[in-house]
Amino acid sequence: MPLKLDARDPSFQAAFDRLVVSRRAESENLRAAVAEILARVRTEGDRALIELTRRFDRVELSPASVRIPNEALAQARDGLDRELRAALELAAERIHAFHARQMPADLDYEDALGVRLGLRWQPIQAVGLYVPGGTAAYPSSVLMNAIPAKVAGCRRLVMTVPTPEGKVNEAVLAAAAIAGVDEVYRIGGAQAIAALAFGTETIAAVDKIVGPGNQWVAEAKRQVFGQVGIDTIAGPSEVVVVADHSADPNWIAADLLAQAEHDEQAQAILITDDGQLAAAVAEAVAQQLAELERAAVARASWEAHGAIILLPTLEDAPALVDRLAPEHLQLCVRDPAALAARIRCAGAIFLGHHTPEVIGDYVGGPNHVLPTGRSARFASGLSVFDFLTRTTLLGCSETALRALAPAAIALARAEGLGAHARSVALRLGARQ
């Protein structure tokens, strides 16, 4: 049974505290195994990549067959079911339009002292995109990760996708063609992350790696950070739904289960001030579970990690939401905008009864790659900013330097850095 909390219970605060800090993914220690894979690919290149792919994915590759030709991507797009292709193209169009509006402007001005100051944005040159393969294949994630990189102006976008036992997901390849991915390789796991980070004879290294994956992929990304940039270390997916008496319990139940069916570690939480709604949602969840294709996964998630929280008033909801800092937040209330204005920590907020989180997964426009595990307290969803670097510019005339020099010299001396002081003083003709 899911956890049920009532704010009027004296033990509520302690129970809620336990919910906030509970860990839903107690991963085994993969550090040594992943480190060995990374080291092998770094030193042995293609040979290690091919041997590891044979072992883990049961696919026999050669350096010539590691890459999936761009012609195959175009064929997958052209041969895709018409309705599915139209859906992917609509999603791509909306994702592109939203992210294009995020592009920042450069900064260049001169202050009162005559100092030139500026900030210049530039795209990361080469980006790697990891895409899960096999049964966990998500063409929507291809679009969400690739399109912001393309909008930012990245020149080379490289995708890796495992093809276990040679099985290729045509929708994933079609999405790669629609998003404009430049290179696609049929490799996965920690070895794919190693190839992207270090390069092999066949795959040139990239500057940053993005995209979801299993625990091996997450650990590999953690270990290569510094050699390359990464987006985040993603945890299990999560949603918090805040609902009042105006909500439809069947809709809310479906929204909770849409998150729970991701995997057994996913988490779905309902916060409401209506006891009748809470009971009706719990009953609707039980009924809908019997109809789901992924009922076993959703049931395990709901029973182990789900929660229904009853409050005296939704005025108290923002404080609880901020502590949970959820990946997704649905506000199924009569005035969602007013409630959203009081919330600081959420990866994405979905406003009103007719905005289920699922729309954000696919065709809303904002990115569905979002901070998990309470990291919305300090992190944000994927955007064009993840594919840009910023460089500051500073230029002093002789007059401006003379105006700034005394303070710079004083600070350098205070820090005991004589060469710093001399660097400035010599330009003034002063002896140090």
**What is the rounded CA–CA span in Å between residue 110 and residue 58?**
61
Backbone angles phi, psi at 110, to 5 degrees: -120, 130
Give catalytic status of residue 328 as yes or no.
yes
How many residues are present in the chain?
432
Terminal-residue alpha carbon distance, the chain: 76
DSSP 163-203: -GGG---HHHHHHHHHHT-SEEES--HHHHHHHHHH--SSS
Query: Counting Cβ atoms within 10 Å, is residue 378 exposed (0-12), middle (13-18) or buried (19+)?
Result: exposed
**What is the rounded CA–CA span in Å between residue 330 and residue 349?**
6
The three-class DSSP label of residue 117 is: strand
What Rg value do the Cα atoms of the chain yield, rounded?
A: 26
Give catalytic status of residue 96 as yes or no.
no
**What is the rounded CA–CA span in Å between residue 164 and residue 214?**
14
DSSP 101: T
Sheet bearing 307-310, strands edge to edge: 3-6, 307-310, 267-272, 238-243, 328-332, 348-351
Find residue 243's DSSP bridge partners. 272, 332
DSSP 228: B
* Given the residues 96, 262, 328, 368, the one annotated as active site: 328
* Given the residues 99, 327, 357, 368, the one annotated as active site: 327
- Give residue for tokens 């969803």: 381
Q: Tell me the longest C-alpha to C-alpha distance in the chain.
A: 85
The three-class DSSP label of residue 332 is: strand
On whether the CB atoms of residues 275 and 243 are closer than 8 A, the answer is no
Residue among 231, 230, 214, 223 nearest 380 (CA) = 231
**What is the rounded CA–CA span in Å between residue 333 and residue 114?**
54
Angle formed at CA 188 by CA 185 and CA 190, multiple of 5 degrees: 125
Active site residues: 327-328
